[in-house]
Amino acid sequence: MSRPRWLTVVALIGVLAVFGAACSNNKSSSNPPAGGTESGGNAEQACAADEFGCVEVAAGQPIQLGTLLSITGDTASLGLDSQRGVKLAVDYLDGTLDGKDGQLLGHDIKLDNEDDGCTAEGGQSGAAKLVGIPNLLAVIGTSCSSAALGVADKIFSDKGILLISPSNTNPNLTAEGTHQDFYLRTAHNDTIQGSVMADFANKVVKAKTAATIHDESPYADALAEVFRAAFELGGGQIVGNEAIQSTDTDFKPLLTNIGQNAPDYLYYPDFNPACALIAKQAAGISSLSNTSMGGSDGCGAPDYAKIAGPAADGTFISGPDLTAIVGQNDFYKNTFVPAYNKEFNTATTASFHAHAFDAVNILFKAVEESAIKGDDGSLSIPRTALKDAIYATNGYDGLTGTITCVPLGDCATKVAIAVYKVPDDPFTGGATNAKPVFSETKTLEEVEAALNG
């Protein structure tokens, strides 16, 4: 895709107004969705009136929920982490995290899982498989923005199927002109994360100069672009902007070139293994010996430290401020994380498991608001009414914070982004109680106003 200038991105998101049903004021994410909608005799009429018809669930049959996440390959730790958050939300339908699934309106939940591969091709393939499932309720995904933007988001929206992402962060997914009607996300918008990373470089590192390295993905491209704009607004100077392919493995010539300007900060918001290889190979470039460096949540997985080895230590990783979640939510610390560790026999492997849990819960709330229950226990769920109900989520108390969905699909409108120093971070080693070296809470509105001058 063509690479828009920052001002174009700002203009696109300028109309926008983290980690419930319509206007829900539920004050604890430890409460599962309340059961039972009123039965009605108007199901046939409502379904006929809906442009996309209804999700029909026969008595005794499960509700089918899809996931489209990166669950194999180099980014599997990202997608599997979110998939586990989905499974825990289904488990919690009965009000307990006990390894036994609950029910929604008297129906089991059947998960249909596909792999987005963290690529546009994977998004296309996985979405094509899922849309072929009759009466698919919705899809939790994708993991990577590249699998959604103009691909899975459009495929599902054209069919009236909700796609709710726990980890897509590219600004254009929720921008005027590119947003798809049935797309939402509980993850933050990278307009916020890029701005926070620039503030970190300006205020904590005291960097006067910086360089960026981004791969071909919409995620990395947008993050690096926001960072550069915000860093310059903070008084810094960009002295390098390099593009790579995510499949590249030799970065020494590129790093040597960047080192000629000896930037104070080097930002590489890419995915592993590229992230880790940049950190590892930069350690051998003498002209970068005084350069602080790091990436964002795309780097934030165990593979970063494993591949980079000792070179990862002292670099920085940004992502959702899990200390804010832990500090404000006893359920997350005392119930959710222990259940995650027990059920999957592992620590959390990325930063978006809680966002996935929240995505499923606001979906279930919307189902309760929109479903028409037959006398025999069957369900008819008008697709447009379901969309309208989830978009009306307002003030829902989730694991990640207060969730309010705006018309262009952002449901995390006020977000705390933290910067951690490896290895004392929650992403590369699962230390959810790690203390960030920097954290800021920002809203889309204030970031846009600052970048727009």
Q: Express each pLDDT in 206-233 by its tens digit.
A: 999 999 999 999 999 999 999 999 999 9
The predicted structure's pLDDT at residue 13: 36
CATH 3.40.50.720 for domain 191-321+416-451, yes or no, is no
Q: Region 227-254: what's the mean pLDDT?
A: 97
Cα separation, 302 vs 426, whole angstroms: 10
Measured CA angle at 188 (ends 187, 192), to 5 deg? 170
pLDDT above 70 as % of the chain: 90
**Tens digits of residue pLDDT in 63-87:** 999 999 999 999 999 999 999 999 9
Calculate mean pLDDT across residues 384-399. 97
Q: Which of 15-24, 60-69, 171-180, 386-395 has the lowest mean pLDDT?
A: 15-24
Percent of the chain with pLDDT over 90: 82
Q: What is the model's pLDDT at position 103?
A: 98
Instruction: Answer yes or no: same fold for 15-189+324-410 and 191-321+416-451.
Output: yes
Whole-number Å distance between alpha carbons of 13 and 2? 17
The pLDDT assigned to 31 comes to 55
What pLDDT is attached to residue 322? 84
Given a cut of 80, whether residue 39 has pLDDT beyond it is no
| Mean pLDDT of the 285-312 span | 95
CA angle 448, 452, 453 (to 5 degrees): 120
Closest CA to 26 of 366, 315, 435: 366
Helix (H) or strand (E) holding 394: none
**pLDDT of 17 higher than 60:** no
Comparing 16-25, 30-39, 64-73, 89-98, which segment has the lowest mean pLDDT? 16-25
Query: Would you say residue 1 has pLDDT above 50?
Result: no
CB 398 within 8 A of CB 186: yes
- More confident site: 349 or 356: 356
Per-residue pLDDT tens digits for 176-187: 999 999 999 999
Q: What is the pLDDT of residues 81-106, one digit of tens each?
A: 999 999 999 999 999 999 999 999 99
pTM of the entire structure? 0.86
Indicate the range of 116-130, 144-158, 427-441 predicted with least confidence.
427-441
Instruction: Report the distance separating Cα 178 and Cα 447, nearest Å.
Output: 20
Rounded Cα distance between 24 and 38, Å, is 18
- Label residue 33 by pLDDT band (50, 70, 90): low
pLDDT at 387 over 50: yes
Report pLDDT digits (tens) over 302-342. 999 999 999 999 999 999 998 878 777 889 999 999 999 99
Across 251-255, 397-401, 427-431, the highest mean pLDDT is recorded for 251-255
Q: Which pLDDT band holds residue 32 (cuts at 50, 70, 90)?
A: low
Q: What stretches of 234-352 show up as alpha helix (H) in DSSP? A: 252-259, 274-282, 302-308, 322-328, 330-331, 337-344
Length of the chain counted residue by residue: 453
CATH superfamily to which 15-189+324-410 belongs = Response regulator (3.40.50.2300)
Q: Would you state the pLDDT for residue 327? A: 74
Q: Quick check: 22 pLDDT over 50?
A: no
Give, in order, the Cα–Cα distances in Å from 164 to each of 71, 77, 82, 182, 453: 17, 19, 12, 8, 32
Q: Please, what is the average pLDDT of the chain?
A: 90
The C-alpha angle 124, 125, 131, rounded to 5 degrees, equals 85
Question: What's the pLDDT band for 377 if we cut at 50, 70, 90?
Answer: very high
Q: Domain boundaries in the chain?
A: 15-189+324-410, 191-321+416-451
Q: How far apart are CA 335 and CA 319, in angstroms?
A: 22
End-to-end CA gap in the chain: 27
Q: Which residues pair with 210 in a beta bridge?
A: 238, 265
pLDDT at 84: 98
Residue 28: pLDDT above 70? Answer: no
